[in-house]
């Protein structure tokens, strides 16, 4: 998004009408330039209404992400652990951005974007990323333990994201191994973990979190599975800035608990909300298809599946799953 377009979105985000002359004066450009920029906003999926004598407004108000809005939801203890919060209007991928710009930063580094041009999920799947409607968040930190317990990280962080979302009173929340957040079988969000070696056995870890907050119907064609969003689940608008603050808070807590060997409570919470447990599943691996009954996870985070008379283990990154039986929320 070009700077002029972003400035206009910022001005129109209040949901009020603004005249072409007012916007031109605000941006320092002609009314004709304003009109062209507004047309481009419509091409990005932002509905713009024009009413003679009143001006222009967005089809619905937008809450843009802001440093101030996020900081207001962080405790001093969490704020002290965050080295940087970066907000971009658009980027190819927040995970890729952090991995490409791995400058030394004390504490956790957080990157957010209003829109991702090449957002992706696990195994390279595309993640639908309309402008200013959802959460596209990545967090990077330095792991000097050589990637120890990395197989548990998706589960611990999944439980953390679930904890943040439970505060919205959503019925039917659950987790699907290894990194999906579901509501009654419909995808609400997911995680993508990546890492880069730093030498000396240290790694830069990056955890990407995507949460559907207010997914426009026009984006539904880009989604290849049942989905939902927070506003549909809650029946009312959800502050993205407040949600980001909650996500950052629980993610830091989960990461530090795992590093200190205190992840048992997170893993227990994940297991109690496991939507696959006891269901017949089909597992597609590089070695072929397997059918069995999901039986939870082991101490290293592997998926346990009863295949005939054998209890088999499947590891993150090697398999894809779909439940044969309908999935509902977790078992709590």
Residues catalogued as catalytic? 122, 187, 322
Chain CA centroid to CA 180, Å: 10
Instruction: Answer yes or no: are the C-beta atoms of 191 and 158 closer than 8 Å.
Output: yes
Whether omega before 178 lies within 30 degrees of 0, making that bond cis, reads yes
Helix H or strand E segment including 153: helix 153-166
With CA atoms as reference, report the closest residue to 175 among 197, 193, 191. 191
8-state DSSP, 232: H
Spatial distance between the Cα atoms of 221 and 128, rounded to a whole number of angstroms: 9
Three-class DSSP category at 10: helix
Please report, for residues 5, 80, 122, 132, 148, the alpha-carbon distance to residue 9 in angstroms, rounded to integers and kept in the order given.
Answer: 6, 31, 31, 10, 44
Instruction: Report residue 60 as tokens.
Output: 């619905």
Instruction: Answer yes or no: are the C-beta atoms of 73 and 245 closer than 8 Å.
Output: yes
């Amino acid at each position: 998004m070009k700077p002029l377009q972003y400035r206009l979105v910022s001005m129109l985000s209040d949901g009020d009408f603004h005249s072409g002359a007012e916007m031109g004066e605000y941006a320092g450009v002609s009314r004709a330039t304003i009109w062209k920029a507004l047309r481009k906003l419509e091409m990005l999926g932002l509905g713009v209404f024009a009413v003679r004598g009143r001006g222009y407004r967005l089809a619905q108000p937008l809450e843009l992400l802001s440093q101030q809005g996020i900081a207001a939801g962080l405790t001093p203890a969490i704020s002290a652990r965050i080295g940087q919060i970066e907000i971009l209007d658009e980027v190819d991928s927040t995970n890729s951005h952090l991995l490409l710009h791995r400058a030394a930063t004390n504490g956790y580094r957080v990157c957010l974007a209003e829109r991702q041009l090449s957002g992706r999920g696990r195994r390279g799947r595309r993640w639908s990323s309309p402008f200013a409607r959802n959460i596209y968040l990545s967090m990077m930190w330095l792991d000097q333990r050589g990637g120890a317990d990395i197989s548990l990280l998706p589960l611990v962080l999944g439980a953390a994201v679930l904890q943040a979302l439970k505060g919205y009173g959503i019925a039917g929340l659950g987790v699907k191994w290894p990194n999906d957040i579901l509501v009654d079988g419909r995808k609400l969000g997911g995680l993508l973990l990546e890492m880069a070696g730093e030498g000396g056995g240290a790694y830069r870890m990056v955890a990407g979190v995507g949460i559907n907050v207010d997914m426009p119907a026009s984006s539904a064609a880009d989604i290849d599975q049942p989905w939902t969003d927070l506003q549909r689940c809650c029946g009312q608008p959800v502050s993205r800035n407040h949600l980001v603050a909650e996500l950052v808070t629980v993610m830091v807590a989960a990461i530090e608990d795992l590093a200190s060997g205190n992840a048992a409570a997170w893993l227990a919470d994940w297991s109690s909300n496991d939507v696959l447990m006891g269901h017949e599943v089909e597992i597609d691996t590089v070695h072929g298809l397997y059918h069995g009954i999901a039986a939870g996870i082991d101490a290293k985070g592997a998926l346990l599946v009863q295949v005939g008379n054998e209890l088999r283990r499947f590891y993150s990154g090697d398999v894809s799953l779909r439940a044969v039986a309908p999935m509902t929320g977790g078992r709590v």
